[in-house]
Amino acid sequence: MRYKYLIFLIFITSVGIAQNLGLKPEFGNRESRKINNAKPPLYLSEPPSNEGTNLLVDNDGSIKFIYRQGDWDNGGFSDEVYFKTTINEGRTWTEPQVLGNTGPGKQCFATISPVSGEVIVFFIHSEKGKKGNYRFVRSENGRTDWTYNHHFDSVRFGGMGYGNCLWIDMSNGNKRVLCGVHGNNEGAGCYYSDDDGRTWSPSNRSKVPNLIPNIWQTGSVEPTFIQLKDGRIWMLMRNSNDHLWESFSEDKGATWSEAVSTQFKCGPNSWVTTKRLSTGEILLVWNNAMSMHPSVTQDKWSFTNRDVIHLAISPDEGKTWHGFRELWLDEMRDSSQFVNHPGDKGQNESKVAETPEGNILVACGQAPGHRAFLLLDPNWIYQKSASDDFSNGLDYWSIHKLLVRSPIYSRWYHYRYNRKKGAELVPHPTNQEKQVLQIRREADSTVYSQRDCAIWNFPAGKSGAFETKIYLNRKFRGGMVALTDRWYQPTDTQGEEKAMFILDIPAGGGVEKEFVLEKEKWYNVTFNWNLEKENSCEVEIDGKKLSSKLPLLNPCENGISYVRFRSTSVWPDNEGFLIESVKAEVE
C-alpha cells in the first residue's frame, strides 16, 4: 500500500514539475515550451524554377526538388525534368541532375511511389503551335527507363491539369494513388491508379459555381487531398469566389460529393496545399487574402492578392484551426520591379515536405525574385502572441502602394501592377535610438490611393487583445485603426469595408465626446474582443475605457488576425500619425 502511495506521489510531483517547466502538452503532443520558443519561418534560398515544381520526400528519407529548367523569360522550359536533393532540411542542395525526358511540355507535377520507388511525372504535352493534352510518364528499372509515356486524358483541357498526388492504403493491402486534375469549368477531381501508376481511371468532377460576376471565372481548379481518419478523402479547391470549396469521397477517390463552401477565405487566382504531418496534424497552406475589386482596377483578372501566403494547422481532423499566420511576404512586394517577369508572379504555388527532424520545408512563389525555400517549425503556428517594435525594420509589414497600371495590358503579364513604398520608418520624436512608422497622405497621382496604410498579421483569435502605441503629429488630419481577418492590399478600401472593428480618429482627435487625443503625445490604445460572447470590442486608451464599445461590422469565421493603420485625410496630410509598437495576445 505504501509502495502504491509512493508511486502516486512521484507521479503528482512529476506532473507539477513538467507544468512548471512548460512541458505540459497544449495541442496534441506539442509542449508549451517548444511553442513559446519557436522561431518564425526561416528563408533559405531561391528555388531554381517554379513551373509545376515538386518537393517530395524520397523513400530513403532525403528530400527532392523536381522541376524543369528554364523560365518564361528564357525561351520556355526544358524537355528534361531535373532534380536536386537535400539531406539537411534545404540548407544545402546537390547539383541538378536529369531525372528523365518527357519531350516538349509544360509543368512536371510528380510523385514517388512508396511501393516501387519509381517516379511518375504529370505534364501538359504542348508542342509549339499545337494544342496539348495531359500526359504522364512513369519510370521503370530504378528510374533509368522513361519510355512509358502516355496520354493521361484524350480531352483537351480548358485549363491545365494538376498533379497533387495522394497515396492511400486499400483493404486488399495494395496502395492507390490519386492524381488531381481540373479543366476549369469542367470541375476538379482525380485520376486514380491501383497498379503503381501504370494505368489510370477517372473520377467524376466536383464543380464550383461562379458566383461573383465580372471577374475571371475559373470554376473549381487545382485540388489538394487529405485522407481523414474516418477513411474519407477531403478535397479542397480554389475558385473565383471568396472562399476555398470542399468535396469528399467515401470510395477512395472514385466519386466526389457536391462541392460546398468552407470557412477558409481565399483570394481568387491562388492555390491551396494540404499536408498530413507525421504527428497526425493537418497543415493548410493557402492565400488568406483578397484581390482588389475589378471596378477599381478595371481589370477582370485582378492578380492583386499574391503578395502573401498563409498557414493554419489543425490537431483534431479539421474541427479547430490555429494560426492563420503569414508564412511569407513577397520580398518584392514594394518594388518598382515587381512585374519583372511576363508570366505568373508573387506567392501562388506552394509545395510542402516534412523533414526527418519534424520541421516543414516549403517552396513557394513564382518568377525570379519572388520564390523562396522556407524552413518552418510547426510549433510556431500555435503561438498565441506576437509583437513588433520595428527593430527588424518592416520585414513583417505590408506598406506599399500600387501604381496605376499602363493602359497597355495583357493577361500574360499576370499581376501587372508595379509598386512603390508608402508608409515609412522615421526617427522617434522623443527617442532618437528608435524608429517609428509614419502614416500620412502624400499627394501623388501615380498611385491608386494616396492614403498610407500599414498592415500587420498576428495569430488568429475569436477572443483576444491588441495593443498599440500611437502619436498624432501637430497637423494630423485623420486616421483609423481597423481589425480584420485577412490580408487586403494596403491601398484597397475593402480592408476597411470588410473589417470587424474600426476605431476612427478624426483630425481633431476626438474619438468620442468625452475623450480627445491631444497632438504630440503618446497614447497606449488597447482593443479587447470576445466574439464568442458579444459582437463588440472594448477600447481602452491609457487605461481608460471608452464609454461606447465598437460594434462588429462584419461576421468573423476564423478569428481576428490583422490590424490596418490608415490615413483617412481628405486632403494631403504630410505629418499624419506615428506608431511605436504593436502587440497581440489571443485565445
Cβ proximity of 388 and 582 under 8 Å: yes
- Separation of alpha carbons 367 and 561, rounded Å: 28
* 240 Rama sector, left if φ>0, alpha if ψ -120 to 50, beta otherwise: alpha
Q: Which ranges of 437-559 does DSSP label H, i.e. alpha helix?
A: 494-497
DSSP sequence for 358-395: S-EEEEEEESTTT-EEEEE-GGGGG--EEEE-STTTTT
Burial of 77 (0-12, 13-18, 19+ CB in 10 A): buried
| Intrachain domains 43-156 and 388-586 with the same fold | no
Give 388-586's CATH code, choosing from 3.90.580.10, 1.10.10.60, 3.40.50.10440, 2.60.120.200: 2.60.120.200
Report the SS3 class of residue 569: coil
- Separation of alpha carbons 35 and 26, rounded Å: 9
pLDDT of residue 157: 40
Q: Would you list the domain boundaries of the chain?
A: 43-156, 388-586
Q: Evaluate the CA torsion angle 214, 215, 217, 223 in order and state its sign.
A: negative
Q: Which residue has the cell 502614416?
A: 439
Q: Digits of tens for pLDDT over the chain (587 positions)?
A: 434 334 333 333 443 444 444 445 566 679 999 999 999 999 999 999 877 889 999 999 999 999 998 776 666 788 899 999 999 999 999 999 999 988 877 788 899 999 999 999 988 776 654 556 777 889 999 999 887 666 555 444 434 556 689 999 999 999 999 998 887 678 899 989 999 999 888 899 999 988 887 777 788 888 999 999 999 999 999 888 889 999 999 999 999 999 999 999 998 778 899 999 999 999 999 999 998 877 777 777 677 888 999 999 999 999 999 999 999 999 999 988 888 776 778 888 899 999 999 999 999 998 888 999 999 999 999 999 999 999 999 999 999 999 887 655 555 556 568 889 999 999 999 998 999 999 999 999 999 899 999 999 999 999 999 999 999 999 999 999 999 999 999 999 999 999 999 999 999 999 998 899 999 999 999 999 999 999 999 999 999 999 999 999 999 999 999 999 999 999 999 999 999 999 999 98
Calculate ∠ Cα 69-70-75, nearest 5°. 145
pLDDT of residue 149: 66
pLDDT of residue 13: 40
546: CB partners within 8 A, 6+ apart: 511, 512, 515, 538, 539, 540
Query: Which among 202, 260, 196, 192 is positioned nearest to 227, based on CA atoms?
Result: 192
C-alpha cell recorded at residue 355:
523533414
Report the SS3 class of residue 272: coil
Q: Label residues 462-493 b or e (16+ Cβ within 10 Å = b).
A: bebbbbbbbbbbeebbbbbbbbbbbbbbbbbb
What is the end-to-end Cα distance of the chain in Å, rounded? 43
Predicted TM-score (pTM) of the model is 0.92
The CATH architecture of the domain made up of 43-156 is 5 Propeller (2.115)
pLDDT of residue 499: 98
